[in-house]
Chains A and B, each alone.
Chain A
Amino acid sequence: MKKVLFKYPLITSFIIAFLLSNVCIAQENDVSNYRMGFNLTTVKQPDNSRLLEVSFIATNKKDRKDKIPISNAEIKFFNILNEEEVLLGAVNTSNEGIAQLTLPENQNYLIDDDGTINLTALFEGSNAIDEETAEISIKDLHIELNLTEIDSVKTVSVSAFTINKLGEKIPAEEIEISFYIQAMLSKMKIEEGTINDGSYEFTFPSDIPGDINGNLLVYAMVVDHDEYWNVTQNKNIKWGIFHSHSIKEKNSLWSAIAPLWMYSVLTIMLVGVWANYVYTIINLVKIKKEGDELKLKI
């Protein structure tokens, strides 16, 4: 074997180079060079369901731009109260390293005396990656979005509250809220303010175009709140103004109607030529007439 290797130095050097390169790549991709990012977040959606989302992404310790999503990792979601632990569901991460679990509106949570829900996401670990866990504590905020016309003024109002154990509505305080319109590619912010005494109200702008039927989708959103995290509510309303672009088209080379000089030049040329044809035919008729008269004389 040794003889063979020495006999073909080129092939041998290729094999060595190939093996070394594999070792190098293996070292570069070693999991110890990466820091695991395991984050849990939640969004209360317009239909009052709750979305739990884990993002599981490894970031290179030396190069933060080098990020590798951990895919196909089983994530378990728990609702914990003291020693009690309820498994809400288990979901595998996607190719982007995202695991999402949607809990219905009527989900029964373990809630403490303060009205707080403790949620935990758990990755139990594998041969290469250690166990990861993330916890969040949230309070269930209810947002009611009302779009009404008060004395012909289009008014947007929200009421935000929590519900205590007795089922009483407790108005929310000091919550930053933003309002958006769904545009073609993203949401357009139209208003932001703070909810005090459980409500916020503003006059809807009168110059926002909707779709062809004047429909608009209005969003009220609480984003990254310490207690309530993300809460979204939306409603469709026919408040849009449809702008029909009835701009009068100018005569130009690229419009449907040509420049006036083009019509003029073409008309003059064609009329000139065809008038000559007509003149020729008239003369031919005269020649024929003269010939006929001559024939009669003969």
Chain B
Amino acid sequence: MDFNQRKRELVKEFSPMLEKSSLVSKLWYFVLIAIISVGIYAFYLQFINGHKVTGMRDNVVWGIYIINFIFFVGISYSGAFITGVLHFFNGSWKYSIARIIKIITVLSLIVGPIFILLCIGRLDRLHYLFIYPRIQSPITWDIIAIMTDLIGCFIYLYLTFIPDFAILRDTTDLKVPNWQKNVYRVLAIGYQDTTSQRKRLHKITEIMSVMIIAMAVVAYTVLAWIFSLTLQPGWNSTIFAPYFIIAGLYSGVGVIIITMYLIRTSFKLEKYIRKIHFIGAGIVLLIISLLFGYFTFSEYFSKWFSHKTNDVELLETLFSHYFWEFIFANYIGVLVPIIILFFKKLRTIKSVTFAAVIAVLGLWLNRYLIVIPTLETPYIPIQDTRPEFIFYTASWIEYALSFAGIAAFILMFKLIMKFVPIIPISGIIDQERFEEKRIKNLGEQNK
């Protein structure tokens, strides 16, 4: 097979995604930029007036910003974990989703930490974290872990992009601006797809994929420890680290399924993102939802059974003030995906995506119920203070910034898709090369 010809064919197939922007796409850009602009204005108000414009007060010092942070970082770590694991599988199917997951991983890790910055009342003192770090503090570990992980994920994403950059650089009939071609040339770092270059790139990518699996587990464990190493009711739990990892995987797989569905329908990629991907991801989601349900039950059951005063108070708050949220997060958010994904007949592309949406929403609420009710039921009783100081309600500023974060995530995703094909051309070529070699070997054996 002439692989150079095949490369040109594939570039031609994916070039519309890189060359043109449809009217719908342009409308999407406008809406996303508008949402981000509102978010920037909300941030300006928060920066000028301080945290009084948010719902955060003396007792509930963390709000939906920290929940978004945990949520996005969880998606990122699960993405890193899944993409690392995928690297060790063979088969053409993995190339269709691998890049989507890698992009989700990196973008979540860019957007997530922005939310933690929004939690900080005195941003002007941010550099103190680096000047006076306290190595015993899980917050210091988290900063180190996130920064290291972000760089690692960037490198890993870049490694997988290099062969595609080289293909795009070498394709003369690609109608993209000259600056874009120059960027392809620089980022391709002289990659010519020689055997030695391919081997070298494969070797470092493999090492990086192992490393980011380990880093994802370590970093999300550290994030869980920010909560569980305190003595707060509801947080001081020995299973919090594995619980967070399972929860991160749960939301991560959910977001991957939703993204797969949106890309498949938007770009008519049914040939590459097939039903088998949804069935496979659905089964993974089913296994994780069972594990997540088990961990959730174990967590709350031990709290209820031990009957410690503060834990009981927390559970009473969850079953009274947050009744419906609790039901949605821990019953509907777990049981509905299990029911849909358990029965073979129900496993269609749309139903799997619906289960993923329920799982993601439930998981976000689960994070909310971990953070807010605990802060509302501290050890020392709250006395002589106003109700708005005890109970947390997010303000429009917080919602605006949260939606701005989601919009920024989608916008960056769309921009990356405009820059490189969402289905890796090099992956398809590699797979076809592998198949050709296999057939050749079989032929030689038969002789």
Contact = CB atoms under 8 A, between A and B. Distances in A.
B144 A280 contact: no
Contact of A283 (B148, B203, B211): B203
B207 A280 contact: yes
A45 B144 CA distance: 65
Interface residues of B, number: 27
A144 B219 CA distance: 73
B269 interface: no
A108 B141 CA distance: 77
Interface in B142-187: 144, 148, 151-152, 155, 159, 162
A291 B148 contact: no
Contact of B192 (A270, A283, A294): A294
Contact of A274 (B148, B162, B190, B194): B148
A273 B207 CA distance: 11
Contacts of A291: 189-192, 197
B196 A279 contact: no
B189 A287 contact: yes
B155 A277 contact: yes
B136 interface: yes
Most buried by A among B134, B191, B218: B191
A291 B215 CA distance: 31
Given A270-B144, A276-B211, A294-B192, A262 B135 contact: yes
B188 to A, nearest CB: 8
B200 interface: yes
A276 B149 CA distance: 12
Contacts of A280: 155, 159, 204, 207-208
Nearest to A272: B211
B201 interface: yes
B135 A276 contact: no
A258 interface: yes
Contact of A294 (B148, B162, B189, B194): B194
Chain B interface, DSSP helix/strand/loop, else mixed:
helix
B135 A287 contact: no
Nearest to B144: A270
A10 interface: no
Given A291-B191, A294-B194, A286 B200 contact: yes
Interface in A280-298: 280-281, 283-284, 286-292, 294-295
Contacts of A289: 190
B194 A270 contact: no
Contacts of B218: 269
Given A262-B135, A284-B189, A286-B200, A277 B151 contact: yes
Contacts of A288: 189-190
Interface residues of A, number: 27
A115 B218 CA distance: 89
Given A283-B200, A290-B197, A273 B211 contact: yes
Nearest to A284: B189
A258 B141 CA distance: 13
B190 A273 contact: no
Contacts of A294: 190, 192, 194
Interface string A170-184: 000000000000000
Contacts of B196: 290
A263 B135 contact: yes
Nearest to A266: B135
Given A266-B135, A286-B200, A273 B194 contact: no
B223 to A, nearest CB: 16
Contacts of A283: 200-201, 203-204
A217 to B, nearest CB: 39
A276 B208 contact: yes
A295 B190 contact: yes
Interface string B122-148: 000000000000111000010010001
A277 B135 contact: no
A211 B148 CA distance: 50
B208 A270 contact: no
A269 B135 CA distance: 14
Contacts of A19: none
A185 interface: no
Contacts of B203: 283
Nearest to A294: B192
Contacts of A295: 190, 192
A287 B191 contact: yes
Given A290-B197, A291-B192, A279 B135 contact: no
Interface in B51-96: none
B136 A287 contact: no
A276 B190 contact: no
Contacts of B191: 287, 291
Interface string A66-87: 0000000000000000000000
Given A276-B211, A280-B159, A290 B135 contact: no
A286 B191 CA distance: 10
B190 A277 contact: no
A253 interface: yes
A285 to B, nearest CB: 8
Contacts of B200: 283, 286-287
Contacts of B136: 253-254, 258-259, 262
B215 A273 contact: yes
Given A266-B135, A273-B215, A295-B190, 9 more contacts: A258-B134, A258-B135, A266-B144, A270-B144, A276-B208, A280-B159, A290-B197, A291-B190, A291-B191
18 contacts: A254-B136, A266-B135, A276-B211, A277-B151, A279-B204, A280-B155, A280-B208, A283-B200, A283-B203, A284-B189, A287-B162, A289-B190, A290-B190, A290-B194, A290-B196, A292-B190, A294-B194, A295-B190
Across the A-B interface, give the 5 residue pairs with the lowest CB-CB distance, nearest first: A291-B190, A288-B189, A258-B135, A288-B190, A283-B204
